[in-house]
Amino acid sequence: MMNSTEFADLLDAYVRRLEGLLLRFRHSQSGTIYLTEDDDALTRQTVQELIDLFNDNIRANPYSVRVAGIANEGITGWPERVSQNCVQELLSLVRAVGARVARNPEVVKGHSGTPAASDAYWQILHPTVQALGKSRMDSGHFADAVEACLKELNSVVKIKHQQVSGRELDGVDLMRQAFKLDSPSILLAQLTDDTGRNIQRGYLDLFAGAMAGVRNPKAHGNVQITRERAIHFLFLASLLFFKLEEAA
């Protein structure tokens, strides 16, 4: 992990790279502003490098998601083309991060030699989440950590449901069948009163929502998330694993 001076120097190098890319935009005879194919590829490479750089080195990092958003809006078409505005926005963002680091070097993780956040939260997460998530989080693969935990959650529910129903389902459909109020295969509360039915229905929505809103986008797209957002999702996965252990 680099210190704040090393990080600032690297940001300066990215500023120079992006400034160079801006100088290489050309106008075609039709009026289109374009980069060469090699410079298009360099811009896409720069996007990924910046995401990794910010994930690895910035405390409470909001910048990786912004880089991904700029790229999603500014790299379009087939073959892929990088817009001039995309490079300009990346350059503005890198300069802004550099200014922030100059004002407050403590935002860089390596400045004081301490991690961005305490690892104490691992002690209260479900053992499965610890086993699947910690090494991925430590290596900066935040989305992968969340996806791995939710895939395993899906597998556990699938096995339990199949043992009772004999049917093999997956994802949202699986959750809606496994936890349904009418003869669920996984019973999370007694359904003889409103309280129990509300608990069963509420967790059904949590399990299904975790599949639809968290697992599926990460499984089917190149989704980048911050460390902090990944921790939030890991707590959700942990809660659902613990609730499964309480099932009748």
pLDDT tens digits, 92-132: 999 999 998 888 888 898 765 444 445 678 889 999 999 99
Q: Which of 92, 111, 130 is the last residue of a domain?
A: 111
Report the domain count for the chain.
Answer: 2
Residue 190 pLDDT class (50, 70, 90 cuts):
very high
Whether residue 182 is found in the same domain as residue 140: yes
pTM of this prediction? 0.54
Range of the domain at 165: 120-245
Whether residue 135 is found in the same domain as residue 233: yes
Query: What is the predicted pLDDT for the residue at 192?
Result: 94
Cα–Cα distance, 199 to 172 (Å, whole number) = 18
pLDDT in tens, 25-78: 887 666 667 788 888 889 889 999 999 999 999 988 889 999 999 988 888 764
Q: Which of 61, 81, 111 is the last residue of a domain?
A: 111
Whether residue 49 is found in the same domain as residue 103: yes
Backbone angles phi, psi at 82, to 5 degrees: -95, 125
CA-based R_g, the chain, Å: 23
Question: Position 63: which residue type?
Answer: Y
Q: Which of 51, 82, 111 is the last residue of a domain?
A: 111
Cα–Cα distance, 132 to 23 (Å, whole number) = 45
Burial of 87 (0-12, 13-18, 19+ CB in 10 A): buried
Whether residue 82 is found in the same domain as residue 153: no
Query: What is the predicted pLDDT for the residue at 33?
Result: 77
Give residue for tokens 């120097």: 9
Whether residue 12 is found in the same domain as residue 30: yes
Whether residue 37 is found in the same domain as residue 124: no
Whether residue 64 is found in the same domain as residue 148: no
Whether residue 99 is found in the same domain as residue 139: no
Whether residue 233 is found in the same domain as residue 131: yes
Q: Are 114 and 24 in contact (CB under 8 A)?
A: no
Query: What is the predicted pLDDT for the residue at 215?
Result: 84
